[in-house]
Amino acid sequence: MKNLASKILKPKVLLAAFMAFAVAGCSDYLDREPLSDYLSSDFYKSDAAVQQGAAGCYHMLYQDLHKNGAMFPTMMLWDMYTPFGIERSDNASIGVGNIDLRTNYSVEQMWAQLYTAVARCNNVLYGAEPFKSELTSRGLQHLAEIKVLRAYYYMHLVSLWGDVPFLTEPTKPQDDLSKIARTPWKEIVSYLLDDLDKAAADLPWTYSDTKDWGRIDKSVAFGIRARLALYAGSWCKFGFGMNAEKDLNKGTEYFTIAASSAKSIINESGRKLCPSYPDLFTNVGQQTAAAKAENMLQIMFTSNGSKKVHWLSVGEQSRIVGQSGRFPTQMLVDQFETKNGLRIDKDPSYKANDPFTNRDPRLKYTIYTNGETIIANSGGKKWKFVMDVYNPKVKSYDEAGNMTLMDNKDYEGPVSQYGYIKSGVGYLWKKYNHFDDEDNWTATYNIVLMRYAEILLTYAEAKIELNQIDATVYDAIDQVRGRVGMPGILIVDPTRAGDQAKMRQIVRRERKVELAKEALYLFDMRRWRLGSMQNAEPTYGYPFATGVDASKNIYPNGYSQATADMIPSFTSFGTESDLNDIPSYAAYADKLRMRDKDRSKSWNDRYYLWPIPQTERNKAPWLTQNDGYAQ
Amino acid sequence: MEGDTVWKIIKNLSDQMSLRCSVNHQDEKNSPKINEKSMRKLQKSLVFLFIFCATLVSQAQAQVVKGRVLDDGGIPVIGANIIEKGTSNGVATDVKGSFVLKVQSLKSTLVISSVGYQKVEVPINGNATLEVRLKEDAKVIDEVMVVGYAKQKKATLTGSVSAVDGDKLKQRSVASLSTALQGTMPGVTIRQTSGQPGADGASILIRGVGSINSSTSPLVLVDGVEMDMNQLDMSTVESVSVLKDAASASIYGSRASNGVILITTKRGKQGKLQVTYSGYATIQKPTNMPDPVSAWEYLQAELNAWDNAGISVTPLQRQQQLKLIEDQKSYKPDNWNRYDTDWKKETIKEQALMHNHTVNLTGGNENVQIFTTASFLDQDGLIENNSYKRTNFRLNGDAKITSWAKLAVESSYRESVSKSPGYSTPKSIINQALFMLPTLSAARELDGNWGYGKNGANPTAMASASGLKTGIGTDLIAGGTLTITPLKNWDVSGQYSYNRTIGRSRNILTPYKTSLKGAYMGQTPAEKNLYEGYSETLKNYYRLQSTYSLDFKEHKTSFILGFEQSDRTISDFGVSMGGFDLDNYYLSNGDKKTSSGSGSAADRALQSYFGRINYSYADKYLLELNGRYDGSSNFIKKNRWGFFPSVSAGWVISRENFMESTQSFLSLLKIRASYGILGNQDIGQYAYASTIVSEDNGETYPYVFNKDFATGLVQLYQANPDILWEKSSQLNLAVDATFWNGRLTFTGEYFIKKIDDMLMRLPLPYYTGMRPAWDNVGSMENKGWELTLGYKDRKGDFSYGITLNLSDVKNEITDLSGYISADKSLVEGYPVNGYWGYLTDGYFKDWEDVANSPKISGSARPGYVKYKKVNTAEGAKLLEIDNNDKVYLGDPYAHYEYGVTLNGGWKDFDLTVFVQGVGKRNIYMSGVGLKPFANGANLFSHQLDSWTPENPNAAYPILVPEANSADNFQLSDKWLQDASYMRLKNVVLGYTLPKSICSKIKLAGLRVYVSGQNLYTKSNFFKGYDPEVSYSGGVGGEFYPIMQTYTFGLDIKF
């Protein structure tokens, strides 16, 4: 009897246990929320959340195409898409135009990156909207920073592509995207100018805490407003896009906004020019108070933690210390005045066989020229060597000053085909590449996106285009020139006073040399509509040397062989190319290193805007294409 | 009769068989008459043969024993072996099961054996006539297979299950279990893609690729618990079962869509305590390596390339280059004026050693049995500082607690230590050693510093002087099952298992100094660094299961009902720091300002109810129903649960009365069919949620203020909370046949697997700025077939067997809502990752040919690859090749995969020969693996066969610099290289010491063997490249070679 009971009881108990266990397991065992991530619903309701969200929006300034820890901000290529800069090979660069931009990887990625950046901003702004009352002024300030960033990203979209899809809120999976077409650029610009004005109200002129160095302040908000308005004014005045559509009244309106925005920075921000121009572009220099006062917006890098390094310098070195893929051109070199403040063809003291002495000091701050000493800082080793376009050996000096001759890898050897002599035209970028203070492979200097000098020039240019040329205009330009010891514009040529054409020439020239390689000239060339004029000739460089005899080890310097007639022509006075300082080398072209033979054939006015990437139009066929690119 | 040769006998035998086959449907009584003559002849022949043999061996006076050997059912056993015990005197039975044997004494004992039957010993006891009944060997007829949550008799199985015995895998003497499984089962595609120590496990696909975005790997369960099979010690594996069709796998529901691999570990056996030692030592060599050219060949090729591309070379430059070439030919490198560095030789070892030692202890009484093992594996890599060591312990115990309760426990601990150089990865170092230019620098310069190589990258220095990455992995599993038998045939069992896996890494980066021609060039990498990392996975597994079986006359039923839940929490953290000026690499010594840390965690849970009903009538009509109701935390509440049912049925035709006439040779004929639905939920945690993250796939989003980091948060994806499981349905049709009691076996299967609701992220326009959400949109289909054929037999002391398997599967995307991916890897109507490219038409003959033919760009020259214009629609530019000229060229998958295993034993020797191959496969290599000079690389000798006007049919187009050669190396039929192969995968030759000798030296057994892996390969692939390896990496064509191995091994039983 007992046995039987146990036989029946046991299974019953077991079964009950089974059921209990199974039911107990049902409760909330499967409810697993993210542990180290955050759920997006109702997230941006605190200052701290908005602050970290803002950092995610700033992060897009890095513009890294390759996502591999080390960054290459793509905007640093933009100058190479103008005749002032070149990339490694002929006929492969966007600047030369021999490729189909509709399917170009870089164009597509820039489009994608900029919109990713816009969406980052939209997500935080939209997410924080219901909780604005719960934020302190610090939280609202972060939202204003994000608005400025969004305007900055949209400014590039409009400048590069014209009419673009314009979203100020995040998209959702259920949205009907085909309803989102391209918004006319003027509508976008109006919205942004207004939004920047509003954002500025929530931002301070200066941050009291040094921890906020690098954060967007009121002067950046006004600075971007000024830049965008200046661009828009030029587009309206000189023509937008392939067909050069104009709108003079609107242009005046925009120039007025540009001038007033710049003016308020000049008058109220307390920003100043840094007495040392090179300090603006080195790691140590940028951390001085004077440089911080001029550099308004930058992509900031750090040597802290797992270093945020960038590869800007890695691709701009002599082959002796690194790699090279981007070079300046003769045309840019020839924009720099002599130290007398004159264009090279106008100054009798300028010698074709000694072209780099007595020039605007900014030439040597910006470009390495033949005979210049390069500071190499690579792999924990620092030394110097002399740049030499003409000799298979170069002099090099160790830190103690001992001289040795070393192989000139740009001249011959397996990598010379990529060097500045065989791939470039005899020049290297020096701006950012002066390595006294850090290793060129792991550079952490900041890349400057906006500085006070630009504001001064923007102010001057807007006022000149408005034909309101007064003392504040001369002063703005002279401040920039004076910092590097260049003579005042009216001292050099008093007839400039009140002459709109001459003033336009000098402010444009100043912009070209002061802001060279700062990712602005692509937009300047477009808005000044200089594309066809500037791309009329191939890319030129150093003069060839004659009488080379390797067997006797004779390697003459080509520059010192240059004859007096080897000075470029800027055509006759008052012509467009004269007024825009566009040199021609045709007269002695055969004596010069030449690249991009077909440059003139490849220019087309459609390049005033890039095409909407083909992959984007495959996904969104409702987007129209820009003029000149087959639909 | 004397005239009969052995060949004739065999011919007679085969005549005999075919006649038997052809009379299946005839009246049984007639058949012997028809065959009497030949039968008698055969009988005579066999008798003659064995008498002859026996006479040779034995001089003794013989007496005759006659008899018949029958099976349980009284059916004659043909070909049974009868041996007089202690002699080699023997004979085989004829078709009537009869035999006649001359024995030395009527007091002897006869040993009677036949494949598929239990061996018996029968004392003659003076009888001159014997009738012997052989019992069917349970192993063959009652062979059981491990299936989901149970074991089933193979004979009545209705699903599609392949199994392989653990001892067979152990024979392969390889480090990873997945590699050992290669070729053993049809429909299971296993490819060893790398030979890197600690990472040489193979990739496994069961019945084709099962998803586009979710996991395509099968579920691997070791004793019911999810685990990495490559971390197992192979000597502990009892069996491996692969559940291929929906019927067998659906009891694993939402994790079973890619098939299930069940691994069972060995358990203790009742009996005397037995200790076994097994050990082997292996020499590993790469199966293949490309052959880079020397300095002068490179320099000559470079000059030729410039000339070929029309690049102007000044006379001075030419003169210098030619002099350099002459010097390089005439003089040895002096590492000052001339470098000719053989980076391959300097960096890569000729061979590497691997050895493995295992001690097993097993035994027990009727109440307690244990199996315990300890093993150690040490595998060396092909470069310095690259190795893998693994130690495994396991204890499996079984205890009978009461008459109605049993406890089984499993516990295992694994610790593995893998080492690799501090800088770069072993794979990248090996490849840099293969393609780095010989002219750049010496491996070590004359001043004693390392050579500067390519901007400081020097593979030899990276391997031996750049520090050390050490990864220590530990794995602890502890669990047990309590089984209670409340009533006869009713078991209730509860299982719990705990699994903790820890990965601990310690990576030290030490810069090495470089020089070039006496000048110090600085150090690479620039700075010292230490990374300390920790990751942990905790898993809990609970199961409660009830099994009941009830037999009523010929009706047999069994029921399984179960509940199971499991959870998994993953967490990790890591810190990196620099500034170790004094070289003691611990975090307390570094520069705190350079430190950065990270950490994250995620968890997941599954809950399931499962059940199975088996019904069979007379072991003839078989039916099985499975179902699983699964809940996953990867979906939101309302979509969380899914039901995955399956049904399968079988008909054992051979048991039908009308088949009686064939029973003497057709032991089993079964047809079976199954259909079921499976799920796939393996797309990662929180896929339904829109999350805000600071890190995604290793990418972080900080910004820097005041030169210091600020954490950045981003929302990367649009979210779709409504996502559901991926579902697959599979139909399986199969035939199993066994002849002559297991001597010949055949299985053929055909399946159609449809995968629906595939989770895809259909691309959004960039302007949304977000990455797309998951959506259940895609469908695809895998269709395939599998054949297995086996034959085994024994003739006296000689036993042998052959198994052959062959399979193929075809994949097709059936629906993507019209989406076509930009690279065409996803196009409806074509396989996933299909190759799309141009068709080629040789090379351009001359400039006229260039001018008149379509081309990709203006860089075309004579000797460039010529492409065919496919798109000739109106408006197409006929002289331009563009995207519209790309056509489908094939898929990247292995087709017609086969494995052939031959094994033979003679007396104390055993031999296994295993051939594995792929009948059709194509690989497109890129970068360095394909293009001469790619990424500044050296040439490989096979690339020297390039086009010149005198060599118009060269393998490669005209040699030009990389910058000019893009048009030539487009994905096209020319570069889709044939990667099919046939490979002598494994050979084992063993010798087992006879028992008599063993007992003298007090051993229970001793076996020695030699074996080899990947001994010979026949392939048309690129010279120097192995067709099986996977090629990828930043510069293309990178790989870690897989190994050819030579092993000597020893098994001792005490």
What is the DSSP code string of B490-518?
Answer: EEEEEEEEEEEEEEEEEEEE--EEEEETT
C-alpha to C-alpha distance for A351 and A371, rounded to whole angstroms:
16
Share of chain A above pLDDT 70, in %: 94
**CB B519 to CB A172 under 8 A?**
no
**Inter-chain touch B712–A56, beta carbons under 8 Å:** yes
pLDDT digits (tens, 9 = 90+) for B672-721: 999 999 988 887 788 888 889 998 888 889 999 999 999 999 999 998 88
Of the two residues B653 and B311, the one the predictor is more confident about is: B653
Q: Which amino acid type is present at position B133? A: R
- CA-based nearest residue in chain B for residue A122: B769
Residue A109 CA to residue B826 CA, distance in Å, equals 22
- Which residues fall within 8 angstroms of residue A353, CB to CB, at 6 or more apart? A559, A560, A561, A562, A563, A564
More confident residue, B100 or A463: A463
Sort out which chain B residues have CB atoms less than 8 A from A615's CB and list them. 766, 822
Segment A130-175, tens digit of pLDDT: 999 999 999 999 999 999 999 999 999 999 999 999 999 999 888 8
Residue A27 has pLDDT above 70, yes or no: no
By CB atoms closer than 10 A (0-12, 13-18, 19+), residue B337 is exposed
pLDDT at B3: 43
Q: Identify whether the C-beta of residue B459 lies closer than 8 Å to the C-beta of residue B343.
A: yes
Residues A196, A197, A202, A203, CA torsion sign: positive
Q: Could you tell me the end-to-end alpha-carbon distance of chain B, in angstroms, rounded to an integer?
A: 50
* Phi/psi at A359 (5° precision): -115, 165
Range 373-432 of B in CB contact (< 8 A) with A: 404
Q: What's the 3-state SS for B101-130?
A: EEECCCCCEEEEECCCECCEEEECCCCCEE
Find, in chain A, the residue whose alpha carbon is nearest to that of B766: A112
Q: Which candidate in B707, B777, B884 is best for mutational testing of the A interface (most A CBs within 10 A)?
A: B707
Of A18, A36, A304, the CB nearest to B602: A36
Cα–Cα separations (whole angstroms), residue A188 to A162, A176, A389, B691, B965: 10, 21, 48, 30, 44
Percent of chain B with pLDDT over 90: 58
Distance from the A340 Cα atom to the nearest Cα atom in chain B, whole angstroms: 39
- What Å distances lie between residue A202 and A221, B80, B440, CA to CA? 10, 98, 58
Using the predicted structure, report yes or no on whether residue B954 has a pLDDT greater than 90. Answer: yes
Tell which residue, B859, B844, B835, has the closest CA to residue B960.
B859
* Omega before B426 within 30 of 0, i.e. cis: no
> Do B691 and A37 count as a contact with CB atoms less than 8 A apart?
yes
Per-residue pLDDT band for A26 (boundaries 50, 70, 90) equals: low
Close Cβ partners of A249 (under 8 Å, ≥ 6 residues apart): none
Report the distance separating Cα B902 and Cα B915, nearest Å: 8
B927: left (phi over 0), alpha (psi -120 to 50) or beta: left
Residue in this structure with the two tokens 């230590």, named with its chain if needed: B417
Cβ under 8 Å to B: A residues 73-132: 89, 108, 111-112, 115-120, 122-123
A32 CB near a chain B CB, below 8 Å? Answer: yes
Q: Do B517 and A407 touch (CB under 8 A)?
A: yes
Structural contact between residues B862 and B846, judged by C-beta atoms closer than 8 angstroms: yes
How far apart, in Å, are the Cα atoms of B496 and each of B477, B478, B480?
Answer: 11, 8, 6
Which of A204-218, A538-552, B4-18, B587-601 is most confident? A204-218
Chain A residues 435-464 with CB within 8 Å of chain B: 439, 441-442, 444
Q: What is the DSSP letter of A268?
A: I
Q: Measuring CA to CA, how many Å separate A354 from each of A513, A549, B388?
A: 20, 23, 64
Q: Are strands B450-451 and B512-516 parallel, antiparallel or unpaired?
A: parallel
pLDDT in tens, B847-879: 999 999 999 988 899 999 999 999 988 888 888
Q: What does pLDDT average to over chain A?
A: 91
CA-to-CA distance for A19 and B544, rounded, in angstroms? 10
Element (H, E) at B379: strand B368-380
For residue A11, what pLDDT band results from cuts at 50, 70 and 90?
low
Give contacts of B546 with chain A, Cβ < 8 Å: 18
Q: How many CA atoms lie within 13 A of B71 on its CB side?
A: 22
- Residue B531's nearest CA partner among B476, B573, B582, B581 is B573
Mean pLDDT of B919-945: 92
Which residues is B219 bridged to in the sheet?
A: B260
Chain A 280-299, residues with CB within 8 Å of chain B CB atoms: 287
Q: What is the CA radius of gyration of chain A?
A: 29
* CB within 8 Å: B685 and A34: yes
Relative to beta strand B591-617, strand B621-632 is antiparallel
Helix, strand or coil for residue B274? strand
The answer to whether B936 contacts chain A (CB < 8 Å) is yes
What is the mean predicted confidence (pLDDT) over B334-339? 88
B707: nearest CA partner in chain A: A302
Q: Tell me: the pLDDT tens digits for B811-829?
A: 999 999 888 887 788 999 9
Would you call B713 an interface residue with chain A, using a CB distance cutoff of 8 Å? yes
* pLDDT of B932 higher than 50: yes
Q: Is the pLDDT of residue B50 over 50?
A: no
pLDDT at A448: 97
Please say whether the beta carbons of B1000 and B345 come within 8 A. Answer: no
Q: A271-278: long-range contacts (C-beta < 8 A, 24 or more apart)?
A: A271/A219, A271/A296, A271/A452, A271/A455, A272/A452, A273/A452, A273/A453, A273/A456, A273/A479, A273/A480, A273/A483, A274/A483, A275/A483, A277/A361, A277/A362, A277/A365, A277/A483, A277/A484, A278/A365, A278/A434
Q: Do the Cβ atoms of B692 and A441 come within 8 Å?
A: no
Give the model's pLDDT for residue B1.
40
How many A-B residue pairs are in contact by the CB < 8 A criterion? 268
In one letter, which amino acid is B289?
M
Residues β-bridged to residue A117: none
Q: How many CB atoms lie within 10 A of CB B54?
A: 21
- To the nearest 10°, report the CA torsion of A79, A85, A87, A93: 70
pLDDT band at A14 (very low <50, low <70, confident <90, very high): low
Secondary structure letter of residue A302 according to DSSP: B
- Residue B122 is predicted with a pLDDT of 84
Interface check for B607 against chain A (CB to CB < 8 A): the answer is yes
Using alpha carbons only, give the angle B722, B726, B730 rounded to the nearest 5 degrees: 150
Pairing of strands B641-652, B666-680: antiparallel
Confidence at A13, pLDDT banded by 50, 70, 90: low
Contacts (Cβ under 8 Å, ≥6 apart) of B437: A414, B298, B454, B936, B937, B938
Confidence category of residue B14, pLDDT binned at 50, 70, 90: very low
Give the residue-averaged pLDDT of B914-940: 92
Q: Do B704 and A308 touch (CB under 8 A)?
A: yes
Contact B633 A550 (CB under 8 A): no
Could you read off the pLDDT of B613-630 as tens digits, one per residue?
A: 999 998 899 999 999 999
Cβ separation of A378 and B522 shorter than 8 Å? yes
- Residues of chain A contacting residue B563, judged by C-beta atoms under 8 Å apart: 18, 21-22, 25
| Segment B546-555 mean pLDDT | 92
B512 has pLDDT over 90: yes
For B457, the closest chain A residue by CA position comes to A379
Region B338-361 average pLDDT: 95
- Minimal Cβ distance to B709: which of A123, A170, A304: A304
The reported pTM is: 0.82
Given the structure tokens 């290193």, which residue do they identify?
A593
pLDDT in tens, B121-165: 888 887 778 888 888 765 555 678 899 898 888 888 898 898 888
Residue B463 phi, psi (nearest 5): -70, -45
Q: Is A321 part of the contact surface with chain B (CB cutoff 8 Å)?
A: no
Mean pLDDT of A571-599: 92
- pLDDT score for B41: 55
| Percent of the residues in chain B that have a pLDDT greater than 70, as a whole number | 94
Burial class (CB in 10 A: 0-12, 13-18, 19+), B96: middle
Quick one: pLDDT at residue A42? 87
Asked if the model's pLDDT at residue B22 lies above 60, the reply is no
Q: Are A56 and B691 within 8 A, CB to CB?
A: no
B81: which 2 tokens? 């072996």
> What pLDDT score was predicted for residue B142?
67
CA atoms of A217 and A203, how far apart (whole Å)? 5
Within 10 angstroms of residue A576's Cβ, the number of other Cβ atoms is 11
- Cβ distance B707 to A616 less than 8 Å, yes or no, reads no
Please give, rounded to a whole number of angstroms, the shortest distance from the CA of A479 to a CA of chain B: 28
pLDDT band at B783 (very low <50, low <70, confident <90, very high): very high
Tell me which residue of B852, B806, B638, B657 sits closest to B724, measured CA to CA. Answer: B638
Q: Does B609 touch chain A (CB under 8 A)?
A: yes
For residue B1020, which of B981, B1048, B1046 has the smallest C-alpha distance? B981
The larger pLDDT score, comparing residue A474 to residue B101, is at A474
Q: Does B686 reach chain A within 8 Å, measured CB to CB? A: yes
Q: Which long-range contacts (CB under 8 A, 24 or more apart) does A265-271 make?
A: A265/A219, A265/A222, A265/A223, A265/A226, A265/A452, A265/A455, A266/A455, A266/A456, A266/A459, A266/A476, A268/A205, A269/A205, A269/A206, A269/A217, A269/A218, A269/A219, A269/A222, A270/A205, A270/A206, A271/A219, A271/A296, A271/A452, A271/A455
Interface of A with B in 521-550 (CB under 8 A): 548, 550
Classify the phi-psi angles of B583: left when phi > 0, otherwise alpha if psi is within -120 to 50, otherwise beta.
Answer: left
pLDDT tens string B754-763: 999 999 888 8
CB within 8 Å of B739: residues ≥ 6 apart: B665, B666, B667, B745, B746
3-state secondary structure of A406: strand
Residue B705: its chain A contacts at CB < 8 A?
211-215, 300
Q: DSSP for B297-351?
A: HHHHHHHHHHHHHT----HHHHHHHHHHHHHHHHS---SSS-----HHHHHS-S-
Task: Encode pLDDT of A101-115 as tens digits.
Answer: 898 888 998 999 999
CA-to-CA dists, residue B953 to B409, B864, B957, B960, B966, angstroms: 67, 12, 9, 17, 20
B428-473 pLDDT tens trace: 999 999 999 999 999 999 999 999 998 889 999 999 999 999 999 9
B408 by DSSP, 3-state: which?
A: strand
Q: Please compute the mean of the pLDDT values over residues A299-326 and round it to a whole number.
A: 88
In chain B, residues 450-479 whose CB comes closer than 8 Å to chain A: 455-456
Is the pLDDT confidence value at B958 over 50?
Answer: yes
ipTM: 0.93
Reply yes or no on whether the pLDDT at B87 is more than 80.
no
Cα–Cα distance measured from residue A268 to residue B703, given in angstroms and rounded to the nearest whole number: 28
Phi, psi (degrees; rounded to nearest 5) at B517: 45, 50
Chain segment A479-517, per-residue pLDDT in tens: 999 999 999 999 999 999 999 999 999 999 999 999 999
The span from the CA of B671 to the CA of B135, in Å, is 26
Does residue B876 come out as left (phi exceeding 0), alpha (psi in the -120 to 50 range) or beta? Answer: beta
Q: List the single residue in A306, A412, A444 with the smallest CB-CB distance to B596.
A: A306
Mean pLDDT taken over chain B: 88
Measured between CA atoms, how close is A57 to chain B, in angstroms? 8
pLDDT tens, position by position, A334-385: 999 999 999 999 999 999 999 999 999 999 999 999 999 999 888 778 889 9
Asked whether residue A213 carries a pLDDT value surpassing 60, the answer given is yes
